[in-house]
Structure 1
Amino acid sequence: MLSAKSLFEEILDNDESFRLFCSIAASGESQGGWENARIAALVPAVERDLAPKVVRHGADEDKHGRIFNALIKKRGLTPVEVPGDTDYTMLLERRGIGLAHDKLHRDEPLTVQDLVTYLAHSRVTEQRASEQMELLRRLFGDHPDIGRAVKMISHDEDNHLAYCHEELLRFAYAGHGRDIQRTLRECAHVEIRVYRDVSLAVMAHMGRILGWSRAKAAVLAASIHAVYAYERAHGWRRMVSLAMPDRRNALGGPAASAAEFA
């Protein structure tokens, strides 16, 4: 029977699919690390207290990238080039989600509206990341090779999501509520389409590596389209709600070390 666990086990057990999976993950995390580092450097003086949290966010993302690369190295493998159709962060930027890279390359302070855009984008994408890592933690938290990494990254992603909720609510109380809700809705609707497209691309690449039959590939594609149909109708709403998290000031300290994975 085809299940999420059997599918991931098949990917993890094959060297080529494993290194593609980890390379895609490492690339996305490293890109997030760079973006957060640039945002932290450009935070306006009026929001200087936010900068250390953005730095911590970026440090966590960099750490995750190193962890995925270390997992590849541990298998005696090297990273592979990430196919363009699987590059989630790049595809989101191309569709106007988040802060444009040309803005981040300039040495001009961001505006408060820019920070609202950044946090709304992060709230949506961290929802996805938190859910994906929670799934992997449930399936492989006790795995001898990847279990420790999965649990560490899952914990961090939950912190990132809590941070986004708390900071967006702070901005909402300061009078930015309408802009936040509008931006969240726009980001969510684009994200679910990009996530569908990337999921289909990843499964197509994995299918070629693992030699999946047309029937198996069709079942997986149908499942991805079914998830998209649900998210387009109802599921996107979970990405735009805001509630004060149980984890307060989740990014208020230094990032935990990933030295054991290096």
Structure 2
Amino acid sequence: MLSAKSLFQEILDHDESFRLFCSIAAGGEAQGGWENGRIAALVPPALRALAPKIARHGADEDKHGRIFMALLRRRGLTPVPVPPETDYTMLLERRGIGLAHDRLRRDEPLTERDIVVYLAHGRVTEQRAAEQMALLLKHFAGHPEIGRAVRMIAADEDNHLAYTHEELLRLAAAGHGPFIRYTLRACALAEIRVHRDVSLAVMARMGRVLGWPRTRRALLTAAVHAVYAYERLAGRRRMVTLGMPERLDALGGPTASAHEYA
């Protein structure tokens, strides 16, 4: 029977597919760490209180990248280059979502609207990340090889999502509400399209590595398109609504060290 658990188990059990999975994940986390670090350094004076939380977010992303690299090392594997068509972060940037890397490389303070764009982008992408980690947590929390990594990363993603909700609500109360709603909608529409494209690219790569028959590839392709259609019509609402999280100041403390995992 084809299920999310059996699919990931198959990827986990094969060295080359696991190598590709961890390489893609580590690359995305490393990019996120760099982006958050630059944003923390360029926060406008009026929002300087946010800088430590943004830096903490970046430190978490860097930690996740190290965890995926540690998973590879434990199996005696080395990372592979990330195929461009699977680079979620850069594909979002090409669609104008989030803050462009060339903007972040300049030593010019960001504006309050830039911070709204950053947080809205995070609200949408962290929703995706939290959901994906919740799925892995459901099936692999007790796995001897990846269980501890899954538990740690899932907890961090929940914190990141809570943080974006709280800070966007604070900025909405300060008068940015209409721009926040517009930006969230634009981010969500772009993200579900990029997620579809990346999912198809990853499944195609995994299919070649694992030798999936044509029928399985067709079934998975249809499933990806079905998810996209649902999200395009109604599912994106979960990405654009805001609510005060149960845990406030989720990024107010230090990040847990990757050494605690390794």
Q: TM-score range by the shorter chain?
A: over 0.9
| Residue aligning to 2:216 | 216
Structure 2 distance, partners of 1:4, 1:44, is 43
Contact 1:71 1:261 in 2 (8 A): no
Structure 2 distance, partners of 1:234, 1:261, is 38
Contact 1:119 1:164 in 2 (8 A): yes
Alignment of 1:6-155 (within 5 A): 6-155=6-155
Deviation at 1:237, TM superposition (A): 0.6
Normalised to the residue count of structure 1, the TM-score between the two structures is 0.99
Structure 1 distance, partners of 2:48, 2:201, is 40
| Residue aligning to 1:175 | 175
Runs of 4+ in 1 over 3 A off after TM superposition: none
Deviation at 1:260, TM superposition (A): 3.7
Deviation at 1:258, TM superposition (A): 1.2
Structure 2 distance, partners of 1:192, 1:219, is 19
Deviation at 1:48, TM superposition (A): 0.7
Please give the secondary structure, in 2, of the residue aligned with 1:29. helix
Q: What are the ranges of 5 or more consecutive residues in structure 2 without an aligned counterpart?
A: none
Contact 1:163 1:250 in 2 (8 A): yes
Deviations 1:143-202 (A, max 9, x none): 000000000000000000000000000000000000000000000000000000000000
Deviations 1:187-244 (A, max 9, x none): 0000000000000000000000000000000000000000001000000010000000
What amino acid is the match of 1:157? E
Would you say how many aligned residue pairs link Structure 1 and Structure 2? 262
Structure 2 distance, partners of 1:104, 1:73, is 32
Q: What are the ranges of 5 or more consecutive residues in structure 1 without an aligned counterpart?
A: none
Contact 1:70 1:261 in 2 (8 A): no
Structure 2 distance, partners of 1:237, 1:207, is 31
Root-mean-square deviation (Å): 0.5
Normalised to the residue count of structure 2, the TM-score between the two structures is 0.99
